[in-house]
Amino acid sequence: MNFSDLELDRHLCEAAMQLGFIEPSAIQQQTIPNILKRRDLLALAPTGSGKTAAYALPIVQLGKRSIVLVPTRELATQVGKVFTQLCRLLNDPAKIVVAIGGLSINPQMMQLRGGADVLIATPGRLLDLAQHNAVRLNEFEIVVLDEADRLLSLGFADELNAIAKQLLKQRQTLMFSATFEDKVKTLAESLLRNPLRLEVLAKGIDKPDITQRAICVDDKRRTQLLAHLIKQGQLVKNIGNATDHPVTSQEPTEQSGEHPWHSVLVFVASKYGASHVAEKLTRQKIKAQAFHGDLSQGARTQALDDFKHRRCDVLVTTDLAARGLDIKDLPVVINYDLPRSANDYTHRIGRTGRAGARGLAINFVMPEQASHFKLIEKRNQFKVERENVAGFEVAGFETLGNV
């Protein structure tokens, strides 16, 4: 199937092709015709499934004024970029405004003068703008909730309710979520009208090819192990040689010549931890930066930009970067600290193996977290063999889940 089979404007099809989208992904095939028919939608779409274009293409084609609500500033910027790229070849491109917290509100108010066709916003800032009369929410005919589960887990429920009260009743609402827990269900029931429910579990870009590993390590030796793995450059190529256990999973292909570990995203549990680990790696002459919510917006943008453009090899972050971030060609994700929930795990590892590329996710499993990791495995229905890395062995590691 081609984009042109989806009754999309040829300029939009051409722009999608220029972005390297040869054929529509499963979610795009299913959602685009239905959005064009003005159906409400509840789509259960895994991370990296191509959901942004799945709503952006039909929204631009319909030419209806739209709000896209997203959980994080980074995702807002990214979604804004996708809209801009898709509009590139249109004679009369949509006016796209990204409104996010952490930046001065005045320039955003100025941008909203004369209206916006597509307003991409985080909930708090959208409410601020509405309170300042910079935007009237009842003038928008389409509302998208992107990563609805994340919006709720970040505590935006009150803001979403306040926004919903100001929205047009006769609107089209599109909700995307990676998971469908009760909170999401309740929100969907309150916002959507007779929605089409879609669940996407498909191949190709929809189903990331990610090798998962679990290395046992003691708490105090984790940073050394991290530095060791990165320095050895064995992360993608051949970590198996350094272990006592044979590697059971498929080896990812080397993705970038002599520096297969060129980009490594490391997840830690706290903002302090992110800075601390990044500093320690830097001391070992590894180009690492921290990325977390306490940094100024400027510093966040800079860190992400450095990482995306390979000026920095390792980004150490909290769950802030777990969802929505689209970093092209990210071969390795490391859980230095395990995520709290099985859902978070899916989102974290979903940063690698995107858009058809292969990825590697490594988990550091400390003895005290062995049962927590088992639970994550059980909930997500996978099982990986525990490994010991030479020089970092943990006594009795066989009991950390191998049996």
Per rule CB under 6 A, is residue 176 in the interface with ligand AMP? Answer: no
Nearest to 263 by CA among 209, 201, 314: 314
Comparison of 35 and 278: residue with beta carbon closer to ligand AMP:
35
Comparison of 273 and 359: residue with beta carbon closer to ligand AMP:
359
Nearest to 338 by CA among 392, 380, 284: 380
Kindly tell me which residue out of 52, 153, 212, 363 binds ligand AMP, with binding defined by CB under 6 A.
52
Q: How far is the CB of 14 from ligand AMP (least distance, A)?
A: 14
Comparison of 273 and 350: residue with beta carbon closer to ligand AMP:
350
Q: How far is the CB of 48 from ligand AMP (least distance, A)?
A: 4
Comparison of 27 and 188: residue with beta carbon closer to ligand AMP:
27
Kindly tell me which residue out of 6, 53, 68, 330 binds ligand AMP, with binding defined by CB under 6 A.
53
CB-based contacts of 350, cutoff 8 Å, min separation 6: 46, 47, 48, 178, 208, 210
Comparison of 247 and 355: residue with beta carbon closer to ligand AMP:
355
Length of the chain: 403
Q: How far is the CB of 50 from ligand AMP (least distance, A)?
A: 3
**Residue 43 C-alpha from the chain's centroid:** 16
For residue 201, the SS3 value is: coil
Which residues ranging from 67 to 106 are in contact with ligand AMP (CB under 6 A)?
A: none
Angle at 57 (CA atoms; ends 67, 198), nearest 5 degrees: 85
Kindly tell me which residue out of 12, 29, 51, 349 binds ligand AMP, with binding defined by CB under 6 A.
51
Nearest to 288 by CA among 308, 312, 255: 312
C-beta separation of 310 from 263 below 8 A? yes
How many whole angstroms separate alpha carbon 90 and alpha carbon 9? 9
Kindly tell me which residue out of 6, 24, 43, 292 binds ligand AMP, with binding defined by CB under 6 A.
24
How many whole angstroms separate alpha carbon 223 and alpha carbon 235? 15
Q: How far is the CB of 52 from ligand AMP (least distance, A)?
A: 3
387: phi then psi, degrees, rounded to nearest 5:
-120, 155
Question: Site map for ligand AMP, 184-223, x if CB under 6 A?
Answer: ---------------------x------------------
Per rule CB under 6 A, is residue 21 in the interface with ligand AMP? Answer: yes
Which residues ranging from 316 to 355 are in contact with ligand AMP (CB under 6 A)?
A: 326, 354-355
C-beta separation of 245 from 388 below 8 A? yes
Q: Which residues bind ligand AMP (CB under 6 A)?
A: 19-21, 24-25, 28, 48-53, 205, 326, 354-355
